[in-house]
Structure 1
Amino acid sequence: MKAMYLISPALFLMAVAGAGAQDQMRDWAQFGRYAQANEETAVSPKAVFMGDSITDGWDDNDPGFFTDNGFACRGISGQTTSEMLVRFRQDVIDLHPRYVVILAGTNDIAMNNGYIALDNVMDNLISMCELAKANRIRPVLCSVTPSTGFGWRPEVKDAAEKITALNSMIRAYAESERIPYVDYHSALKDSRDGLPAGYSGDGVHPNAECYKVMEGIVLDYLK
């Protein structure tokens, strides 16, 4: 009987953990995050900002940037380009914006969903641009913001180098397709190709001052 009482809590915890994992798998791309906001969008936004926590945190730090300019934030913390591509129709195309501003790739390099080659990351970005163009939405591609490493993924030792390499690929594609390229990286980086302490508390996520710099850069592409 004692063994039964000892095992039961363990089985209970396993069941709870399993249920949580199943819930996450049911909405892997987090379609539900903006489902209600999308339904309540009565007027097409001028631009949709698609991205990860860097975009998600932008709306938290300066919501007026979005509301005052007629922009919609569709960033989701932790997401990779694969997840963004999956939800691109619901969170971008169906809103019929004039522009989509794509800032993505940090979490691919951080291996949030495991290893992915930069070529495959680029394929996801290209697919988003092609979907936008096919639906008469003007894509705007952004450089990945600088970082020398990720606190949640210390085993990634070459973050700065991979970010620089991916940005070169993004720029080359943007130039070949005449897509605007927003170079945050050059404007924000320090001597180590990282994000300066004055712009971030963790070396990855921008603070309010950093977002102000980014706003001044991107607005020139959204006339």
Structure 2
Amino acid sequence: MKTFVKLVLPSALLLPFADEGSAQVVNKYDIPDWANFAKYEEANQAAPEGAVVFMGDSVTEGWALEHPDFFKENGYLCRGISGQTTSQMLVRFRADVIALKPRAVVILAGINDIAQNTGYIAVENTFGNIVSMSEIALANGVRPILCAVPPAQSIPWNPKIEAPAELVIRLNGMLREYAETQGLPYVDYASALQDEHGGVSKSYAPDEIHPASEGYRVMETVVQPVIEKLTAPSAE
């Protein structure tokens, strides 16, 4: 997923050396924020407890923009950040999920790892990052819902990636097996969005990665029953 990064050099690098004893005030937002803690910092302070958090990348962030009513009407919180990899999500997981004291967290991540947005990472390590998020959630009384990465025949912003479809299938296989072994919910977006060629139909995602409105509707029909079952009073 494409992400636009504005490089801002710390003010200390742009100014001549100050005399000993002089003080410089550095705005925290002038310092690169690799995991982008700042994005939801203000929203987190006002977030209600007991919600369901959606953790992810641009697919999740775009979901809240495309279908805001789905989040508002259900009391869901979007914590997706465009372009992020699982390593970045893991770093901010405590601030953007655990600190909010939600009932559950829906984790959809991995395509940007395959795209090598922050450098090469083996599928096994991507899987490990998602497992770590799941374990952190469970240790804090938050119920994790693991999601399959939608199919990807190619990576539009990094066409040099070879056989991304196979990598997605491998990752989803690991996630499904882990969910079954641990007794965790697994949301199979891949099967719901896949076309006859093994990719995502362009009616669901014009660039075959980022869902359009119809694609999100399909995803909602798949994930909503899982959330309702997991958060029903009888399941508490």
TM-score, with length taken from structure 1: 0.89
Matches within 5 A, 1:65-80: 65-80=70-85
From 169, 174, 178, the counterpart of 2:179 = 174
Give unmatched runs, 5+ long, in structure 1. 1-15
Matches within 5 A, 1:15-164: 19=9, 26-41=32-47, 43-164=48-169
Helix, strand or coil at the partner of 2:158: coil
Rounded Cα–Cα distance in structure 2 between residues aligned with 1:183 and 1:69? 21
What is the aligned-residue identity percentage?
50
Helix, strand or coil at the partner of 1:202: coil
Shift of 1:192: 2.4
Rounded Cα–Cα distance in structure 2 between residues aligned with 1:34 and 1:204? 24
Cα distance change of structure 1 residues 149 and 72 upon mapping to structure 2, 3 Å threshold: same
From 210, 216, 230, the counterpart of 1:211 = 216
Shift of 1:62: 0.4
Question: What is aligned with 2:26?
Answer: none
One-letter code aligned to 2:73: D
TM-score, with length taken from structure 2: 0.84
One-letter code aligned to 1:141: L
One-letter code aligned to 2:199: G
The C-alpha deviation readout for 1:78-100, integer Å capped at 9, x for no partner, is 00000000000010001111110
Rounded Cα–Cα distance in structure 1 between residues aligned with 2:219 and 2:50? 19
Shift of 1:210: 0.5
Cα distance change of structure 1 residues 94 and 17 upon mapping to structure 2, 3 Å threshold: closer
Shift of 1:24: 8.0
Give unmatched runs, 5+ long, in structure 2. 1-5, 14-28, 229-236
- The structure whose residues are more often helix, as a share, is 1
Rounded Cα–Cα distance in structure 2 between residues aligned with 1:220 and 1:120? 30
- 8 A contact 2:8–2:30 mirrored in 1: no
Shift of 1:190: 1.2
Shift of 1:180: 0.3
RMSD: 1.7
Rounded Cα–Cα distance in structure 1 between residues aligned with 2:8 and 2:42? 27
Rounded Cα–Cα distance in structure 1 between residues aligned with 2:104 and 2:9? 39
Instruction: Give the paired residue count.
Output: 206
The runs of at least 4 aligned residues of structure 1 exceeding 2 Å deviation read 22-26
